[in-house]
Amino acid sequence: MAFSPQACLFDLDGVIVDTAKYHFIGWQRLAEELGVPFTVEDNEQLKGVSRVGSLEYILSKGGLDLDNDTKVRLMDRKNAWYLDLVSAMGPDELFPGVVEFIDSLRASGIHVALGSSSRNAPLILNRCGIADRFETVIDGNSITFSKPDPEVFLKGAEAFGAEPGRCVVFEDAVSGVEAALNGGFRIIGVGDAEALAQAEFVIGGFEHFSLQDMVERLS
């Protein structure tokens, strides 16, 4: 029997747009101020990791032990730099084919939600001109736990009264794939096939991927 999806839930960074490059600039700048080396490889380790977890990674790498008030100030500083960068984003930064794919889902009666741990997701969606594509947005402002906890995706499914097993999650991070699996969702990886081996299958992007492709490969 062909798979019949009720909803598709999209992560933001690495799936719809590339904001990792802006996170990298912010975290690297903060790390340098703290005297901690921070490389592209370090940034890869932070994919899908919360703001607190990312700071703790840097502090641990530098052997630093700071009080909570200082940690909050550092996170706020990094976030201010990040906001300056993403505030200049535009539709040209959307990955090829992703808007067309989302539109095909909506046209077929499949619900579409964003499931991201980023607190800045609404800003980014608005800057890129696609906020109206999503029927609901579950982000860092409305969740308690970070991936691999499945809360962000479970809330998305609940918004539509959908069963997790009939919802498809698109994720580029290992922690996001684990979150989808933990919640009983169908999962398609976007990006590195080796890193995302736990996904049911992995696509390089949406430019040559269709709703029919999705249904056939998940059936």
pLDDT value of residue 56: 95
User: pLDDT band at 117, cuts 50/70/90?
Assistant: confident
205 and 190 in contact (C-beta within 8 Å)?
A: yes
pLDDT value of residue 202: 98
Model-level pTM greater than 0.85? yes
**How is the chain split into domains, by residue range?**
7-17+91-218, 20-86
Q: Is 11 a catalytic residue?
A: yes
Query: Which one of the listed residues 13, 42, 139, 172 is annotated catalytic?
Result: 13
Distance from C-alpha of 58 to C-alpha of 53, rounded to nearest angstrom = 9
CATH fold for the domain made of 7-17+91-218? Rossmann fold (3.40.50)
pLDDT value of residue 44: 84
pLDDT value of residue 1: 78
* CA distances to 31, 66, 93 from 147, in Å: 23, 24, 25
Q: Which of 94, 73, 85 is nearest to 22 (CA)?
A: 85
Query: Which one of the listed residues 11, 42, 139, 172 is annotated catalytic?
Result: 11
* CA distances to 32, 34, 61, 141, 154 from 161, in Å: 46, 46, 43, 21, 10
Return mean pLDDT, the chain: 95
| Identity of the amino acid at 209 | F
Is it true that 7-17+91-218 and 20-86 share their CATH fold? no
82 and 26 in contact (C-beta within 8 Å)?
A: yes
pLDDT value of residue 20: 84
DSSP state of 135: S
Q: How far apart are the first and last CA of the chain?
A: 7
* CA distances to 17, 169, 175, 191, 203 from 194, in Å: 21, 18, 14, 9, 11
More confident residue, 118 or 162: 162
Class of domain 20-86 as given by CATH = mainly alpha
Mean pLDDT of all residues in 72-96: 95
Q: Kind of pairing, strands 136-138 and 167-171?
A: unpaired
User: pLDDT band at 219, cuts 50/70/90?
Assistant: very high
pLDDT value of residue 89: 95
